[in-house]
């Protein structure tokens, strides 16, 4: 079975691609990480209890208003769902406090989502599906990319397009809030680079700058490549017919994922080294020669724009 990791950034069209993959003519089973995350923090769950314990004392509006129809008593708050907007204000942004809160929230939710996801993947494997799509917005951030046989990354070529779509989708967001949400995730450019580092068979980029018809055709083309490159191999089904085959194929996929990640990290390290080249010049001041170090450019972890990376990879001119 091929495990397809579907990812993208905010407002790039990932959800639309997910819908296309599970609809005719593809009919692929899709596991939605966002839906699993929502269920993981419903009242009465372990995730709900942990979030309430960590964020509740310092977030007065963490819970939605009390339902008047709910029974009153000591446990009345246990029926109040988490206010996701209030929680979002705590974790979205680029400040130190937001980063710490975001790490704490991810530490609570991600393990619960991984467990639920593993159960669903196993169920589809037992039913003999040729492929299953795991729709994970934070695929690279959560480290789940190493488990994917193939990663499909949905991208746009311009940050302006992304911001415009995000604010059209969520009309209540201010420009600053939209920028905070986009900035809290790994940039489109870096995700494209990581996907390309997996190689042409294991990493596919779908550029969503056109209309719905363009996107549908691009998805069909990419899925045809995935199926042709690995979905119809009889030896794969034979291997997966035994516990040893399952373990062997899984270990191979993880190994390939780790190699792709290492390749990307080495490429990024080399790029940063080139951008931080230092030269020493002599500058005479009042008859004394002083040596000054001059750096040629510095680029932070998220500064490469999607335009830069997409141009470098030949997706746009």
298, pLDDT greater than 80 = no
3-state SS of 12-29 is CCHHHHHHHHHCCCCCCC
Helix (H) or strand (E) holding 205: strand 203-207
Residues 199-212 have a mean pLDDT of 94
Domain tally, the chain: 1
Q: What local confidence, expressed as pLDDT, does residue 243 receive?
A: 57
Confidence of residue 112 (pLDDT cuts 50, 70, 90): very high
Residue 82 in domain: yes
The DSSP bridge pattern shows strands 2-8 and 150-155 to be parallel
Is there a contact between 5 and 143 (Cβ–Cβ < 8 Å)?
A: no
Token digits for 220?
Answer: 């069909």
Query: Is the model more confident about 317 or about 143?
Result: 143
The whole-angstrom separation of Cα 119 and Cα 121 is 6
107, pLDDT greater than 90 = yes
Q: What local confidence, expressed as pLDDT, does residue 78 receive?
A: 62
Question: How much is the pTM?
Answer: 0.76
Residue 317 in domain: no
* Lookup result for tokens 């040893």: 244
Report DSSP state, residue 147: G
273, pLDDT greater than 90 = no
The whole-angstrom separation of Cα 53 and Cα 79 is 15
Residues 285-296 have a mean pLDDT of 46
Residue 226 in domain: yes
Using one digit for the tens of pLDDT, what is the confidence trace for 15-56? 999 999 999 999 999 999 999 999 999 999 999 999 999 999
3-state SS of 87-131 is HHHHHCCCCHHHHHHHHHHHHHHHHHHHHHHHHHHHHHHHCCCCE
* Domain span including residue 73: 2-312
Residue 149 in domain: yes
265, pLDDT greater than 90 = no
Name the phi and psi angles at 205, rounded to 5: -110, 125
172, pLDDT greater than 90 = no
Q: What local confidence, expressed as pLDDT, does residue 234 receive?
A: 41
Query: Is the model more confident about 160 or about 220?
Result: 220
Residues 196-203 have a mean pLDDT of 92
Mean pLDDT across the chain: 81
88, pLDDT greater than 50 = yes
* Lookup result for tokens 């950034």: 9
304, pLDDT greater than 60 = no
Q: What local confidence, expressed as pLDDT, does residue 66 receive?
A: 80
Name the least confident of 62-76, 214-228, 240-254, 283-297.
Answer: 283-297
Residue 177 in domain: yes
Q: Domain holding 23: CATH number? A: 3.40.50.300
Q: What local confidence, expressed as pLDDT, does residue 134 receive?
A: 97
Residue 264 in domain: yes
The whole-angstrom separation of Cα 133 and Cα 136 is 9
270, pLDDT greater than 50 = yes
Alpha helices in the chain (DSSP H): 14-22, 33-40, 46-55, 84-91, 96-126, 159-169, 175-183, 188-197, 212-226, 234-239, 243-275, 306-312
Report DSSP state, residue 76: G
Q: What local confidence, expressed as pLDDT, does residue 110 receive?
A: 93
Q: What local confidence, expressed as pLDDT, does residue 307 receive?
A: 47
């Amino acid at each position: 079975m091929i495990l397809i990791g579907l990812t993208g950034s905010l407002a790039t069209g990932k959800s639309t691609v997910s819908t296309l993959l599970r609809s005719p003519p593809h009919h692929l089973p899709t596991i939605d990480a966002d839906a699993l995350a929502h269920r993981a923090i419903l009242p009465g769950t372990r995730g709900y209890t942990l979030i309430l314990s960590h964020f509740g004392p310092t977030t007065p509006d963490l819970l939605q208003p009390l339902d008047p129809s709910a029974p009153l008593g000591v446990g009345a708050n246990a029926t109040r769902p988490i206010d996701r907007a209030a929680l979002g204000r705590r974790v979205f942004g680029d400040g130190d406090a937001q980063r710490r809160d975001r790490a704490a929230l991810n530490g609570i939710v991600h393990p619960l989502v991984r467990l639920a996801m593993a159960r669903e993947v196993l169920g589809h494997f037992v039913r003999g599906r040729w492929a299953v799509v795991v729709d994970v917005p934070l695929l690279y951030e959560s480290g789940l990319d190493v488990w994917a046989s193939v990663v499909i990354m949905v991208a746009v070529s311009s940050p302006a397009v992304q911001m415009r779509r995000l604010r059209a989708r969520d009309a209540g967001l201010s420009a600053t809030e939209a920028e905070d949400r986009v900035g809290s995730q790994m940039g489109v450019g870096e995700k494209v680079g990581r996907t390309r580092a997996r190689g042409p068979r294991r990493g596919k980029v779908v550029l969503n700058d056109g209309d719905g018809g363009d996107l549908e055709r691009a998805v069909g083309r990419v899925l045809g490549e995935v199926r042709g490159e690995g979905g119809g191999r009889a030896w794969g089904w034979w291997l997966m017919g035994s516990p040893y085959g399952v373990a062997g194929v899984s270990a191979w996929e993880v190994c390939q994922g780790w190699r792709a990640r290492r390749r990307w990290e080495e490429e990024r390290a080399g790029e940063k080294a080139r951008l931080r080249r230092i030269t020493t010049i002599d500058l005479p001041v009042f008859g004394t020669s002083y040596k000054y170090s001059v750096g040629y450019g510095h680029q932070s972890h998220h500064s490469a724009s999607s335009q830069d990376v997409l141009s470098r990879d030949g997706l746009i001119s």
